[in-house]
C-alpha cells in the first residue's frame, strides 16, 4: 500500500490523508476500489471475501499508522470486542469496568452468568480497586475515558500492573481516539475502537477494529474474524476510510467546542455538575494531563431538574440531536438512564453530550432554548 512515508515523522493530520492509498502509477486510482466480490481467482493472497479485500486493507493500514500497531477491522465495535474475549479459555478471570459502555458490561454480565468467563467488575478509575482485583486475571479490560461518566483511568499505572500480573491488557480507546492517546505506546497489548464513532465520524456506518503489535494475538484475532465471520462489507470499510481523511480536523474542532461548552455549562446555575477532563475543576484533570494529548470531545453533565424535564430538554433541541451514539460531526445528546441496561452508578439526571463540529455559539443558543422549553430555571 502507501509507500515512501516515514509515518512516525508525520503528524496525525498528514497521516490520515496519506495512509491507505493504492500504489502510485500512471492513471492509478487515488482511492482503493470497493471490491464487491465474495470470491477471487485462485492463487492470490486473499482467496475469499471473508478473508480480506482491498478496501479493508486500506482502512486497516490507515488505522495501523494512527495507533502504531497492526489492525483488523470488524463489522462493529461489539464484534471487535467479542473477538478479543474469544482469546480467553472457558472460565478465565477477567477484570473489567462495572460502569463502562453498557453494551460491553451487559455482554460481560451474560458471559459471567453463563460461567463462560469469571468477571471481576471494578470501578476502573479507582486504581487501588483495579490493582487488588488483578491477581490471577488472564485479561485486564480497560476503557478510558469511561462511557458515559467520562472518567479517566490511570492507564500508565494499571497497564503496567496488568502486564506484571501476566494479564492480556486491552484498552477500549473509542472515546479518546488516537488524537488523544495511543494505548499500545502506553504498554497495552490491544487497543480497540468502535470505528462507528470518531474514526469514521458521520453516523452512517457501524464498524470496529482491534489493533495490536503481538503477532500471536493478531493471528488469533484474525482467526476469530475469519471463522467467526464478523466481517464488515467492503463498502462500509471504504466509507470509514473516507470519513477518516478528515478525522484530525473534526476532532480538533470538536475538542475546542467541548472545552468551551464545558466551561459555559460549569458556570450555569441550572447545572449541578459537569464532567469533562479538560476542566481544571474535574477530578481527573491532572491525571488526564499526565498522559493524554488532549481531552476528547465528550461531556457529561447533571441537570438540576426532574427526569421529565430533562427528557423534555433533550427532546427540545433543534441543532443537537437527541439520540444514542457519539463521535459524529453532528452534536448528539441523551439522558443515559433512559436505557434499562445503563449502570445504576450513573445518575438519572446525567446527559451525555457528544460535541460535534457546529458553531459553538449556535450550540450554546440551542442549549439555552432547551432549558427554557423544559422550564428549567
Task: Give catalytic residue positions.
Answer: 50, 101, 172, 197
- The verdict on 208 binding ligand PLP (CB under 6 A) reads yes
- Hey, CA dihedral for 205, 217, 185, 59, is it positive or negative? negative
Nearer to ligand PLP, 147 or 257 (CB): 147
For residues 368 and 372, give the distance between their C-alpha atoms in angstroms, rounded to a whole number: 6
CA angle, 16 then 19 then 20, to 5°: 120
Interacting residue with ligand PLP among 194, 212, 331, 343 (CB under 6 A): 194
Phi, psi of 271 (to 5 degrees): -105, 130
Q: Which stretch binds ligand PLP (CB under 6 A): 170-178, 183-191, 219-227, 255-263?
A: 170-178
Which of 148, 158, 164 lies closest to 96 in space, CA to CA? Answer: 158
Q: Which stretch binds ligand PLP (CB under 6 A): 71-79, 224-232, 274-282, 297-305?
A: 71-79
DSSP 376: -
Which residue shows C-alpha cell 474514526? 199
Residue 346 CB, shortest distance to ligand PLP, in Å, is 13
Interacting residue with ligand PLP among 71, 82, 167, 196 (CB under 6 A): 196
Nearer to ligand PLP, 137 or 326 (CB): 326
CB 287 within 8 A of CB 329: no
- The verdict on 101 binding ligand PLP (CB under 6 A) reads yes
- The verdict on 98 binding ligand PLP (CB under 6 A) reads no
Nearer to ligand PLP, 64 or 75 (CB): 75
Q: Which stretch binds ligand PLP (CB under 6 A): 17-25, 70-78, 91-99, 331-339?
A: 70-78
- The verdict on 77 binding ligand PLP (CB under 6 A) reads yes
Angle between helices 54-67 and 234-244 (to 10 degrees): 40
CB 348 within 8 A of CB 320: no
Q: Which stretch binds ligand PLP (CB under 6 A): 74-82, 113-121, 127-135, 294-302?
A: 74-82
Q: Please, which residues bridge with residue 121 across strands? A: 96
Helix, strand, coil shares of the chain, percent, nearest 5, are 35, 15, 45
How many residues in the shown chain lie near ligand PLP by CB under 6 A? 14
CB 261 within 8 A of CB 318: no
Query: 3-state class of 44 per DSSP?
Result: coil
For residues 149 and 275, give the distance between their C-alpha atoms in angstroms, rounded to a whole number: 7
Nearer to ligand PLP, 162 or 296 (CB): 296
Which of 348, 350, 377, 358 lies closest to 320 in space, CA to CA? Answer: 358
Nearer to ligand PLP, 20 or 145 (CB): 145
Nearer to ligand PLP, 22 or 103 (CB): 103
Residue 106 CB, shortest distance to ligand PLP, in Å, is 11
Pairing between strand 190-194 and 208-212?
A: antiparallel
Cβ-proximal residue to ligand PLP, closest one? 77
Nearer to ligand PLP, 206 or 370 (CB): 206
Interacting residue with ligand PLP among 15, 53, 71, 76 (CB under 6 A): 76
**Three-state SS sequence of 81-108:** HHHHHCCCCCCEEEEEECCCCHHHHHHH
For residues 23 and 360, give the distance between their C-alpha atoms in angstroms, rounded to a whole number: 40
Nearer to ligand PLP, 81 or 134 (CB): 81
Interacting residue with ligand PLP among 60, 61, 98, 172 (CB under 6 A): 172
For residues 187 and 327, give the distance between their C-alpha atoms in angstroms, rounded to a whole number: 25
Q: Which stretch binds ligand PLP (CB under 6 A): 73-81, 259-267, 328-336, 338-346?
A: 73-81
Q: 320: which 3 cell numbers?
A: 443537537
Residue 305 CB, shortest distance to ligand PLP, in Å, is 26
CB 117 within 8 A of CB 108: yes
- The verdict on 147 binding ligand PLP (CB under 6 A) reads yes
CB atoms within 10 A of CB 344: 9
Interacting residue with ligand PLP among 63, 78, 94, 313 (CB under 6 A): 78
- The verdict on 301 binding ligand PLP (CB under 6 A) reads no
- The verdict on 103 binding ligand PLP (CB under 6 A) reads yes
Can you give the binding site for ligand PLP, defined by CB under 6 A?
Answer: 76-78, 101, 103, 143, 147, 172, 174-175, 194, 196, 206, 208
Amino acid at each position: 500500500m502507501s509507500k515512501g512515508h516515514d509515518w512516525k515523522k508525520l503528524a496525525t493530520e498528514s497521516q490520515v490523508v496519506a495512509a491507505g492509498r493504492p500504489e502510485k502509477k500512471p492513471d492509478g486510482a487515488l482511492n482503493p476500489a470497493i471490491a464487491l466480490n465474495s470470491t477471487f481467482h485462485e492463487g492470490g493472497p486473499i482467496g475469499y471475501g471473508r478473508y480480506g479485500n482491498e478496501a479493508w486493507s486500506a482502512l486497516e493500514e490507515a488505522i495501523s499508522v494512527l495507533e502504531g500497531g497492526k489492525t483488523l477491522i470488524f463489522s462493529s465495535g461489539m464484534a471487535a470486542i467479542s473477538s478479543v474475549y474469544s482469546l480467553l479459555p472457558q472460565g478465565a478471570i477477567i477484570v473489567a469496568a462495572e460502569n463502562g459502555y453498557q453494551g460491553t458490561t451487559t455482554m460481560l454480565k451474560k458471559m459471567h452468568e453463563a460461567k463462560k468467563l469469571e468477571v471481576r467488575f471494578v470501578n476502573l478509575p479507582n486504581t487501588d480497586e483495579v490493582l487488588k482485583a488483578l491477581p490471577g486475571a488472564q485479561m485486564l479490560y480497560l476503557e478510558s475515558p469511561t462511557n458515559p461518566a467520562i472518567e479517566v483511568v490511570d492507564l500508565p499505572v494499571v497497564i503496567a500492573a496488568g502486564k506484571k500480573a501476566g494479564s492480556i491488557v486491552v484498552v477500549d480507546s473509542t472515546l479518546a481516539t488516537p488524537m488523544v492517546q495511543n494505548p499500545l505506546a502506553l504498554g497495552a497489548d490491544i487497543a480497540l475502537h468502535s470505528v462507528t464513532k470518531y474514526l469514521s465520524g458521520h453516523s452512517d456506518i457501524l464498524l470496529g477494529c482491534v489493533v495490536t503489535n503481538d503477532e500471536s494475538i493478531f493471528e488469533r484475532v484474525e482467526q476469530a474474524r475469519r471463522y467467526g465471520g464478523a466481517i464488515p462489507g467492503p463498502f462500509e470499510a471504504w466509507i470509514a476510510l473516507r470519513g477518516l481523511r478528515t478525522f484530525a480536523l473534526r476532532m480538533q474542532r470538536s475538542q475546542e467546542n467541548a472545552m468551551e461548552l464545558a466551561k459555559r455549562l460549569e458556570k450555569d446555575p441550572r447545572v449541578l455538575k459537569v464532567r469533562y477532563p479538560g476542566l481544571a475543576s474535574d477530578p481527573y484533570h491532572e491525571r488526564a494531563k499526565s498522559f493524554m494529548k488532549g481531552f476528547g470531545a465528550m461531556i457529561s453533565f447533571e441537570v438540576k431538574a426532574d427526569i421529565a424535564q430533562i427528557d423534555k430538554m433533550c427532546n427540545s433541541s433543534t441543532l443537537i440531536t437527541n439520540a444514542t451514539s457519539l463521535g459524529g460531526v453532528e452534536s448528539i445528546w441523551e439522558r443515559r438512564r433512559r436505557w434499562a441496561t445503563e449502570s445504576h452508578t450513573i445518575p438519572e439526571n446525567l446527559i451525555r453530550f457528544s460535541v460535534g463540529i457546529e458553531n459553538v455559539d449556535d450550540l450554546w443558543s440551542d442549549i439555552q432554548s432547551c432549558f427554557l422549553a423544559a422550564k428549567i430555571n
